[in-house]
C-alpha cells in the first residue's frame, strides 16, 4: 500500500517553499528581469497557489534584497547595480577570508587531497576545451571547503551560502571566458598551497584576493 505523502511542516514540498524556491530561481537566473513588476495575485495564478504562500515568499525575498516593495503597486525586481554587486563581493571576501582561516585549522590531509583532485579535474577539462563542467568543479570546490564549517560555525556557513547565491544574480556568464577560468584555477591552487602550509592568516589573505578576482572577472565579462 502506498504511504500517503506526509505533508510535513518544513516540508520542501509545501506551497510556500515551492513558491519561494521557484521565484528565487527565476530571479537569480534572470528569467524575471529588473523592473519587472510582481503582484501577489498574478504570481499566485502563475504558480497555481493562493496569495498566502506567494506573500510569504515575497517577504522573504524582500529581506534578501531580491525583490523590493513598490508600495501599492506590488513588488518589483530591483535593478542591477555595480555598487551593490561590488559590495556583495566585498563582504564575501571578508567573510570567506575568515572562513578559510577557520577551515585551515580543522582541515584534514584527506580533505586537501579531495580538493586537489577537483582542481586537477577542472584543469583537465579546461585543457581539453570543455568549459561546461568547470563551473561545477568550482562549486564543488567551494562546497567541500566550506562544508567543513557547517557544524562548527553554522551561522557563518549559512551567511556565506546565502551570499554565494545572491551574487549569482550578477554572475550569469562568468567562468566561460578563458582568462576568468585560468585565474580561478590558479586561485584554487594557491588556496591549496596556503592550506598545506597551515597558516591561517595567509589563508585569509589568499581567499580575500581570490574573491576580489572573481569580482573583477564578473565585472569584466558581464552581459
Applying the rule CB under 8 A, the residues between 81 and 120 that interact with its own copies are 84, 87-88, 90-91, 94-95, 97-98
Which of its own copies, DNA, none has residue 111 at its interface (CB below 5 to 8 Å by kind)? none
Which of DNA, its own copies, none has residue 4 at its interface (CB below 5 to 8 Å by kind)? DNA
Look-up of cell digits 510582481? 38
Member of 12, 34, 65, 178 binding its own copies (CB under 8 A): 65
Residue 27 burial by Cβ neighbours in a 10 Å radius (0-12, 13-18, 19+) = buried
Q: Find the shortest distance in angstroms from Cβ 14 to its own copies.
A: 12
Number of chain residues interacting with its own copies (CB under 8 A): 25
Residue 131 burial by Cβ neighbours in a 10 Å radius (0-12, 13-18, 19+) = middle
CA 112/CA 14 separation, integer angstroms: 38
What is the CA angle 136-208-161, rounded to 5? 45
Nearer to DNA, 16 or 215 (CB): 16
Look-up of cell digits 570567506? 96
Nearer to DNA, 38 or 211 (CB): 38
DSSP string, 162-187: HHHHHHHTT-SSTTSSHHHHHHHHHH
Member of 5, 9, 109, 110 binding its own copies (CB under 8 A): 9
Q: Binding string, 2-41, against DNA, x = CB under 7 A?
A: --xxxxxxx---xxx--------------------xxxxx
Member of 60, 183, 205, 209 binding its own copies (CB under 8 A): 60
Q: Both ends of the chain: CA-CA distance in Å? A: 53
CA 122/CA 188 separation, integer angstroms: 10
Q: What is the contact surface with DNA in residues (CB under 7 A)?
A: 4-10, 14-16, 37-42, 49-53, 55-56, 69, 71-75
Q: What is the contact surface with its own copies in residues (CB under 8 A)?
A: 8-10, 56, 59-60, 63, 65, 69, 71-72, 84, 87-88, 90-91, 94-95, 97-98, 153-156, 159
Amino acid at each position: 500500500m502506498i504511504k500517503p505523502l506526509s505533508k510535513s511542516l518544513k516540508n520542501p514540498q509545501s506551497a510556500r517553499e515551492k513558491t519561494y524556491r521557484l521565484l528565487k530561481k527565476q530571479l537569480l537566473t534572470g528569467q524575471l528581469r529588473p523592473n519587472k513588476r510582481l503582484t501577489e495575485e498574478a504570481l499566485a495564478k502563475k504558480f497555481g497557489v493562493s496569495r498566502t504562500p506567494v506573500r510569504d515568499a515575497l517577504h522573504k525575498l524582500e529581506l534578501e534584497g531580491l525583490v523590493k516593495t513598490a508600495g501599492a503597486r506590488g513588488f518589483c525586481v530591483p535593478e542591477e547595480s555595480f555598487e551593490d554587486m561590488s559590495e556583495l563581493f566585498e563582504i564575501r571576501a571578508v567573510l570567506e577570508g575568515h572562513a578559510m582561516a577557520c577551515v585551515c585549522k580543522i582541515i584534514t590531509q584527506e580533505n586537501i587531497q579531495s580538493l586537489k583532485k577537483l582542481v586537477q579535474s577542472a584543469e583537465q577539462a579546461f585543457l581539453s576545451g570543455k568549459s561546461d563542467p568547470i563551473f561545477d568543479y568550482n562549486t564543488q570546490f567551494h562546497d567541500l571547503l566550506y562544508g567543513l564549517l557547517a557544524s562548527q560555525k553554522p551561522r557563518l556557513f549559512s551567511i556565506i551560502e546565502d551570499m554565494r547565491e545572491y551574487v549569482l544574480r550578477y554572475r550569469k556568464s562568468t567562468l566561460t571566458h578563458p582568462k576568468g577560468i585560468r585565474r580561478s584555477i590558479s586561485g584554487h591552487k594557491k588556496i591549496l598551497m596556503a592550506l598545506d602550509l597551515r597558516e591561517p592568516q595567509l589563508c585569509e589573505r589568499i581567499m580575500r584576493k581570490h574573491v576580489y578576482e572573481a569580482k573583477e572577472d564578473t565585472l569584466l565579462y558581464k552581459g
